[in-house]
Amino acid sequence: MESIVIGGVKIEKSAALAPMASVADKSYRLMCKEFGAAYMVSEMISSKGLCYGDKKTAVLCEIEQEELPYALQLFGEEPEFMGKAAYLLNRFSPDIIDINMGCPVPKIVSNGSGSALMKDPVRAGKIIEAAVKNADCPVTVKIRSGWDKDSINAVETAKIAEQAGAAAVTVHARTRTQFYSGKADWDIIKQVKQAVSIPVIGNGDVTDGKSAEAMYEETGCDLVMIGRGSYGRPWVFKNVREYLQNGTAPDEPTVGERMEIMLKHAELLCRYKGEERGIKEMRHNFAWYIKGLNGASKLRGASGEIFTFDDLKKAADIILETNA
């Protein structure tokens, strides 16, 4: 397939997996990679947590060879900490360091990080400059359309990012006040693409090959990124790749295949986090995997009773019997 290059890093021009805190962990990413995700970004890494030597933060920086090309994503509101954190990430050898300026979660925004930086483009520029100065790899930025509908400033922010040395910018075409609701305004992505010379990645409302192709055509973006469209559907990346190549999408997995994929995902979670924690975190993934199937509503309600891998397997068997 055609590829794009971000600061020397070659990425297939199909679909990337969006960074999603508490969702796109290592097991989730590896499942999406297996189905063809072209590029992935870590969960958010606290610049201060990294600088102060927090052990949980350091775990988020670990990179598996299977994940490459791969970015580590930093968040923070102070240039000096972001610069030092970018330097500390060098030892993990990421392909790219990404700066989060799009997270809408109140506890992140209240500290002046994430999408709060959309309200302060000057500070954002200083943060990017500090990271670029200290990183041994390309630095990119993920932004939103703006803070709210009355302050759409993605174009201005993207220009500042480019001037500060960013190698690419990702645009989630919603405002912070929208969170993840409403329709993404792809025209914002198009405007950013026309305003800067660095690669632009588009994010928002891509759920399959057809919508990925539409985003490419309507915005001119260099790469499409999928977030919630991958919930319980890691095979969406295979769908996009084949649609872009052949104009037709592969058949959706059968219920049996879907349960096999779900159990493999659970095995990875248990491997990396232990069975107790892994199965607890698998519950919301289980709900996504069974969405739309017969008996899904009843099992979602009882998912709090899933404590072990065997419990999960029994739940999968019930789904198979109910959908036979």
**Residues designated as active site:** 103
| Residue 210 CA: distances (Å) to CA of 15, 172, 213 | 12, 19, 5
Contacts of 266 (CB under 8 A, 6+ apart): 278, 279, 282, 285, 286, 309, 312
Contacts of 309 (CB under 8 A, 6+ apart): 266, 267, 270, 275, 279
- H/E segment holding residue 45: strand 40-46
Q: Fill in the DSSP letter of residue 249.
A: P
d(CA 231, CA 215): 19
Contacts of 314 (CB under 8 A, 6+ apart): none
DSSP string for residues in 104-119: --HHHHTTT-GGGGGG
Nearest to 99 by CA among 187, 161, 180, 38: 161
Nearest to 203 by CA among 244, 158, 142: 142
d(CA 286, CA 279): 10
